[in-house]
Amino acid sequence: MTRRGHPLFLAIFVLVLAPVGAAVIICALILFGVKPALVFAPGHFVMSLLRNPPHAVGVLTTEFVWWLAIVAIGLVWERWRRDR
């Protein structure tokens, strides 16, 4: 019989912990000296595709990319842990 995690824990991870973690990672990278152009590269890319977007589009895109990476790593980790 396979063991499944509680869906509430997954929702908390995806909706609360991952976005906060993404913001912390972005702030930490800038704090430790990574060039902002490199940190916000996904946002700059999306902004280059649009005409005169507000800067919030770039910031939100960067946050979304980091959020997506954290969620992907968390889901892979959970599957790996469950299969062991």
Inter-helix orientation angle 41-49/55-83, to 10°: 130
B/e letters for 17-47, b = 16+ CB within 10 Å, e = fewer, are ebbebbeebbeebeeeeeeeeebbebbeebb
Whole-structure pTM value: 0.86
Q: Please write the tens of the pLDDT for every residue from 48-70.
A: 999 999 999 999 999 999 999 99
The packing angle between helices 55-83 and 18-31, to 10°, is: 120
Q: What are the domain boundaries of the chain? A: 14-83
d(CA 40, CA 60): 10
pLDDT tens-digit map of 23-33 = 999 999 999 99
